[in-house]
Amino acid sequence: MAKTLAKIQIGPDRKENDLHGTPDYPCEVYYTDLSKYTAGLMPEHWHNELEFGFVVKGSLLLKWNGQDTLVSENQCFFLNANVAHSMKLMGEEACFYSVVFHEKFICVPKQLYIKYVQPIVNGTYYPMVLLKEVEAVSLMKNAILCFENKEPGYEFSFYNNICALWNYLYQNHPPIDGMEQIMTQRIQDMLHYISKEYGKNIGVDEIAASTGISKRECYRCFKSQLNSSPNIYLMQFRMNRAAEMILLTDYNMDKIAKECGFTSATYFSTKFKGVYGMTPREYRERNR
């Protein structure tokens, strides 16, 4: 059966520390019930592996690279490697399966890998794809069914369905063009930098420098990719991290403010109330 994922281990840089499968079989299937998480939130994290997800009950809000995507019951999603993401319960329940696997899991003959796998993994495709089509959903359902039933030879059937789903992704969601690819990689790099350094005194200068571009290009990149600005995204990221820490730790508000890059607890409390409509302490009391 699929592993029940009730908690994830996350390092200081937000990288997930859990191992997915084994070196000989680098793939794992999970079943997650977001109602079991504090405030229905799976904290932001990233991993080197690729991920296909399938919502079987309710709906969830998938946050990825500063963007929000609602994934409803009977819909699938694809997350590329190294994409920072979190999941938030929408409504009373949200249960989903996820197939998390290293690219070498589908590294078939080298020629096929170069043609079909490498372009997606290397960033010529979007970081996240919502898969609502009947064919994609059917392939994901079949893969999960094979894994759960574990009939003789199920590994072949499971593998075949995942490969077919990968082919569907390749055939039906074409790669982005060269300039868009550059912009996508830049925003990925800058968001990764923010996820590691948000607790420090950083601003647009440091964010732009992290990927070797000018401040003007940094603003253009954020506007093009996220319809936002680096300042707004950084503040939103700090607010999200603070909200997680308020719910998932017993840190006092002074420590949370400092950990999230705020120079004073008073300023932090003011900004937090502006976003959430209540003070950090009230937020903890109401949501725990």
Please state the three-class secondary structure of 152-163 as a single string: CCHHHHHHHHHH
In the prediction, which pLDDT does 152 show?
93
Run of H or E residues at 100: strand 85-101
pLDDT in tens, the chain (288 residues): 788 877 788 887 788 888 898 988 999 999 999 998 888 889 888 899 999 999 999 999 998 877 889 999 999 999 999 888 999 999 889 999 999 999 989 877 888 888 888 888 876 567 899 999 999 999 999 999 999 999 999 999 999 999 999 999 999 987 666 677 788 788 888 988 998 899 999 999 999 999 999 999 999 999 888 888 999 999 989 998 999 899 888 999 999 999 999 999 999 999 999 998 999 999 999 887
In the prediction, which pLDDT does 258 show?
96
**Topology (CATH) of 178-287:** Arc Repressor Mutant, subunit A (1.10.10)
DSSP 42-99: EEEEB-SSEEEEEEEEEEEEEEETTEEEEEETT-EEEE-TT--EEEEEEEEEEEEEEE
Q: Is the dihedral of CA 5, 10, 15, 21 positive or negative?
A: negative
- 3-172 maps to which CATH number? 2.60.120.280
Yes or no: say if 187 and 219 are a contact pair by the CB < 8 Å rule.
no
In the prediction, which pLDDT does 108 show?
74
Ordered by start, the domain boundaries in the chain are: 3-172, 178-287
Q: What is the model's pTM?
A: 0.77
* Angle subtended at Cα 120 by Cα 197 and Cα 13, rounded to the nearest 5 degrees: 15
Yes or no: say if 69 and 116 are a contact pair by the CB < 8 Å rule.
no
CA dihedral 79, 146, 33, 244 (to 10 degrees): -30
Distance CA 195, CA 15 (A): 10
